[in-house]
Amino acid sequence: MGKSSVVIYNVSKQQYPPTFKIFFFLLPISLAITTFLLIFIYIYTTSRVFANPQASPFLEPATNLSLFDLIIPVSTDNEETIPFSIDNTAEDLFFDLPRTASYAKQSQWSVGLGDLFGSGGNNMNNTEIYHDTDIFLEDYKEMNKSLKIFVYPHKPDDPFANVLLPVDFDPKGHYASELYFKKALVNSHFITKDPNEADLFYMPFSIADLRHDPRIGPEGLQDFIKDYIVNISHQYPYWNRTGGADHFYVACHSIGRIAMDKAVDAKENSIQVVCSSTYFVAGYFPHKDVSMPQIWPKEQDPKKLVSSKRNQLAFFAGQVNSPVRAALLKHWRNDTEIFAHFGRLETDDGEEQLRSKFCLHVKGFEVNTARVTDAIHYGCVPVILANHYDLPFADILNWKSFSVVVHYMDIPVLKKILQGISLEEYLWLQSNVLKVRKHFKWNVPPVDYDAFYMAMYELWLRRSSVRVRLSASKEYI
């Protein structure tokens, strides 16, 4: 023992010749300099910031930052027109920079199949439409067999029956998803009348209907929700057991986000199944909440879904109600290949989507609109220009296999990105769009793997692993 420590001491004290010393002094320094140079060369050759100053918003003076992106329009529909000046756009657009790096990387879609099949990384190789097909199909069967939901009961003569009970017609419009879900759920085999058997508890108020109810309106929403939760937590024991963690509600209108402001437990603990799923604002938690697609119901399938000749590169139509759309307008309004129409389109936009390769979904007031599901309905590959959008069913579906995600920063090079996608890759994306179509549809009655069953599966993933049994609740909590 003692001997070996002497040996070590001797080694460390050993005298080296001067050249040897210099070598060990210079080696780390020269390595550091080389590494620095390599990094610099890499950044210089790959970054557009150096290559093309015009394309970089960062180099424009970021004066007069606007909080536009943070303001939640409380009393307007996501699609209503609000006059919007396009002069101060570039700065507004890049206000939310935190995730730029990773998103910019993700949006380098010109990388193509090489990257998809090639380099390793976080399941980058996955070319399937699901993150894990086997697990999904297996789990889905289990969910379908075992998931049980208790719906808080309300009588038809309840003064708020109109917002609490399912509608007896086929819902229409922007926020139809909310009503389709309720209609499908209450008639499904997931319902249990026995709360002891329930995995989850559904609070069946409809945010969109409350907003239109003259007794409530946008101003009265928060108090209504607060009262509703006070009521159920007094009348039933379930809310208090978990602080609402095994409860959920469904909202497609973005006002749902502030509707919970006076019911903090509901916002922080309950599962919020919402269309406006942006993780940029507080109040939406991707691991706890569910992103549901906004779907504009369509009467029937387009006739030329598969056979249609898509000879237009990209299509967009919509109001200029956000900095992102203003940037799109600024760069692409006169383009012959990217057809961007601002304002109401006189012709049938379904026809336009059928003849386009890519259909642009561009953030308006909210990250979500029905454009993503419209595109999928018409077999058009969606291009997502909505930073921080937690895409619908993103924890099940591999969005990279059927869409193109582009960061705002890349609007100036949008055409380059889309043209950089090879025909082979495009056909692959488009065939996957046709495969995921069934997940973005409401059916009456619901059909396996449609939007309803997908939402149920998402809920199942979020059910608590701790089952609280009423009879022995103290032991289980």
Ligand X SMILES: *[C@@H]1O[C@H](CO)[C@@H](O)[C@H](O)[C@H]1NC(C)=O
5 or 64, CB closer to ligand X?
64
- Closest separation in Å from C-beta 249 to ligand X: 13
How far is it, in rounded angstroms, from Cα 21 to Cα 417?
Answer: 52
Our finding on whether 60 is near ligand X (CB under 6 A) is: no
> Is the separation of the CB atoms in 403 and 383 below 8 Å?
yes
80 or 448, CB closer to ligand X?
448
21 or 141, CB closer to ligand X?
141
21 or 193, CB closer to ligand X?
193
Our finding on whether 443 is near ligand X (CB under 6 A) is: no
Number of H helices, E strands in the chain: 21, 10
Our finding on whether 333 is near ligand X (CB under 6 A) is: yes
197 or 448, CB closer to ligand X?
448
DSSP per-residue letters across 1-47: -HHHHHHHHHHHHPPPPHHHHHHHHHHHHHHHHHHHHHHHHHHHHH-
* Beta-strand pair 271-274/200-202: unpaired
- Closest separation in Å from C-beta 234 to ligand X: 5
Contacting ligand X (CB under 6 A), which of 47, 448, 469, 476?
448
284 or 393, CB closer to ligand X?
393
- Closest separation in Å from C-beta 123 to ligand X: 6
> Is the separation of the CB atoms in 266 and 243 below 8 Å?
no
**Span near ligand X by CB under 6 A; candidates 225-233, 286-294, 344-352, 425-433:** 225-233
- Closest separation in Å from C-beta 389 to ligand X: 25
Q: Coil, helix or strand for 93?
A: helix
Site size for ligand X (CB under 6 A): 18
- Closest separation in Å from C-beta 304 to ligand X: 30
| Tokens 């309905």, residue located | 377
- Closest separation in Å from C-beta 113 to ligand X: 12
207 or 367, CB closer to ligand X?
207
How far is it, in rounded angstroms, from Cα 311 to Cα 41?
Answer: 39
258 or 281, CB closer to ligand X?
258
State how far the alpha carbon of 285 is from the alpha carbons of 270, 278, 446, in Å.
10, 9, 27
114-153 residues in contact with ligand X (CB under 6 A) are: 120, 125, 141, 144
| Tokens 């109109």, residue located | 162
30 or 240, CB closer to ligand X?
240
| Tokens 């924890």, residue located | 395
- Closest separation in Å from C-beta 291 to ligand X: 22
DSSP per-residue letters across 414-432: HHHHHHTS-HHHHHHHHHH
Our finding on whether 189 is near ligand X (CB under 6 A) is: yes
> Is the separation of the CB atoms in 68 and 89 below 8 Å?
no
Our finding on whether 63 is near ligand X (CB under 6 A) is: yes
- Closest separation in Å from C-beta 160 to ligand X: 6
Contacting ligand X (CB under 6 A), which of 64, 85, 300, 471?
64
CA dihedral of 179, 183, 188, 191, whole degrees rounded to 10: 80
- Closest separation in Å from C-beta 187 to ligand X: 11
**The pair of three-digit structure tokens given for residue 24, joined into one six-digit string:** 């060990």
Our finding on whether 422 is near ligand X (CB under 6 A) is: no
DSSP per-residue letters across 122-140: SSTT--SSBS-HHHHHHHH
State how far the alpha carbon of 357 is from the alpha carbons of 51, 99, 205, in Å.
29, 28, 39
- Closest separation in Å from C-beta 429 to ligand X: 19
DSSP per-residue letters across 212-269: H-TTTHHHHHHHHHHHHHHHHHHH-SHHHHHTTTTEEEEE-STTHHHHTTT-HHHHHH
Our finding on whether 309 is near ligand X (CB under 6 A) is: no
Q: Coil, helix or strand for 388?
A: coil
Instruction: Report the 10 Å Cβ neighbour count for 214.
Output: 6
30 or 146, CB closer to ligand X?
146
Q: Could you tell me the end-to-end alpha-carbon distance of the chain, in angstroms, rounded to an integer?
A: 56
- Closest separation in Å from C-beta 240 to ligand X: 4
105 or 141, CB closer to ligand X?
141
- Closest separation in Å from C-beta 121 to ligand X: 6
Our finding on whether 224 is near ligand X (CB under 6 A) is: yes
> Is the separation of the CB atoms in 115 and 212 below 8 Å?
no
Our finding on whether 474 is near ligand X (CB under 6 A) is: no
How far is it, in rounded angstroms, from Cα 213 to Cα 217?
Answer: 6
184 or 354, CB closer to ligand X?
184
Between 227 and 246, how does the x/- string for binding to ligand X read (CB under 6 A)?
xx--x-xx--x--x------
- Residues near ligand X (CB under 6 A) are 63-64, 120, 125, 141, 144, 189, 224, 227-228, 231, 233-234, 237, 240, 333-334, 448
